[in-house]
Amino acid sequence: MTAAIEADGVGKRYGSLVALDGLTFSAHPGEVLGLLGPNGAGKTTCIRVLTAILPASAGRFAVAGVPGDRPEELRRRVGVLPENAGYPRRQTGEEYLRYHARLYGHSRASACAVARELLAGVGLAGRARWSIGSYSRGMRQRLGIARALVNDPRVVFFDEPTLGLDPAGQRDVLAQLGTLASERGVAVLLSTHLLDEVEQHCSRVLILNRGRLVADDTVAEVARWAAAPRRGRIEVAPDDALAAAVRLACSPAVAQVRQDDARPGALQVELAPWANANEVIAALLDAGVLLRAFELEGARLSDAFLAMTKAA
């Protein structure tokens, strides 16, 4: 299986500013990859370089099997929703998509069919004959998503696709991206600030911070790495509480433990960064303490994101 995106040491400078530094990752067909990072981290730059809109300053990459040094071919093979797309205000949505379909070699009749199908797919069928100037911001965003798909790309790059969409629109767009990936094997790179979006829809997540990749793993793994402390509630027999508290206090997996005065046998624990909940359970079992309940507050992607991108 060839990778849909392969980046090896990709860098981008704007004058003296290093916007991307040694970016190395790959994405496979059918994968939805979340691209996270604070403002100015380099997400848009990454998308512009990988879609051959801007030349890289360093490194090598290939997208949909086309190497980065063949920019025209690469641009024809990918779909992109740019950060700031401009649209002709006087054209109707249908004319706009028909025009782009023609650019990609569709006949007049098939360009019409493609335009209608794409407009319906993004919920704009009822506005097909309206001028783009009359569209709301969210409608223009939907049109941009439709345009990104006009060449039936195998790899798509969406720069904040749900920006400006209402909740139903966000859900529809994300569901559409999921379908593209799962049913048609399209690789999707999705840049967003909405961590819930990544948690719910992405198989993997890349976190950029000041141009450097600080995480590249499954959402669950990245969340597990969260340096932010996680808390849990443990319940043992009241007679075991003291022994359990002492054992936990000695365990490297536990940062803090405290007995709940109001409830005999209940303990609050704070896990050490990077510690695994299993280590806590193992520590108690080793001490011969019978566990009645153990609830760990779920580690969230947001913990990991904040921990990995905090200012130096």
Nearest to ligand ATP of 44, 251 (CB atom): 44
- The Cα angle at residue 31 between residues 155 and 1, in degrees rounded to 5: 80
Q: Would you count residue 251 as binding ligand ATP (CB under 6 A)?
A: no
Q: How many residues bind Mg ion (CB under 5 A)?
A: 3
User: Which partner, ligand ATP, Mg ion, none, binds residue 146 by CB below 5 to 8 Å per kind?
Assistant: none
Nearest to ligand ATP of 42, 79 (CB atom): 42
Written as one letter, the residue type at 116 is R
Q: Would you count residue 45 as binding ligand ATP (CB under 6 A)?
A: yes
Among the listed ranges 12-20, 104-112, 279-287, 303-311, the one in contact with ligand ATP (CB under 6 A) is 12-20
**Measured from the CB of residue 306, what is the shortest distance to ligand ATP in angstroms?**
15
259, 267 in Cβ contact below 8 A?
yes
User: Which partner, ligand ATP, Mg ion, none, binds residue 8 by CB below 5 to 8 Å per kind?
Assistant: none
Nearest to ligand ATP of 40, 178 (CB atom): 40
**Measured from the CB of residue 204, what is the shortest distance to Mg ion in angstroms?**
19
User: Which partner, ligand ATP, Mg ion, none, binds residue 216 by CB below 5 to 8 Å per kind?
Assistant: none
Q: Would you count residue 43 as binding ligand ATP (CB under 6 A)?
A: yes
Closest by CA to 99, choosing from 90, 54, 169, is: 90
d(CA 96, CA 122): 14
Cβ-proximal residue to Mg ion, closest one: 44
Q: Would you count residue 17 as binding ligand ATP (CB under 6 A)?
A: yes
> What is the Rg, in whole angstroms, of the alpha carbon atoms belonging to the chain?
24
Q: Would you count residue 37 as binding ligand ATP (CB under 6 A)?
A: yes
- The Cα angle at residue 201 between residues 135 and 31, in degrees rounded to 5: 105
Give how far Cα 278 sits from Cα of 107, 253, 285, Å: 61, 9, 10
Nearest to ligand ATP of 131, 309 (CB atom): 309
Q: Which of 7, 35, 44, 50 is in the footprint of Mg ion by CB under 5 A?
A: 44
Q: How many residues bind ligand ATP (CB under 6 A)?
A: 11
Q: How long a stretch of residues is the chain?
A: 312
50, 79 in Cβ contact below 8 A?
no
How deeply is 47 buried, as exposed, middle or buried, from its count of CB atoms within 10 A (0-12, 13-18, 19+)?
buried
170, 192 in Cβ contact below 8 A?
no
245, 267 in Cβ contact below 8 A?
yes
Q: Which residues contribute to the site for ligand ATP (CB under 6 A)?
A: 14, 17, 19, 37, 39-45
Q: Which residues contribute to the site for Mg ion (CB under 5 A)?
A: 43-44, 83
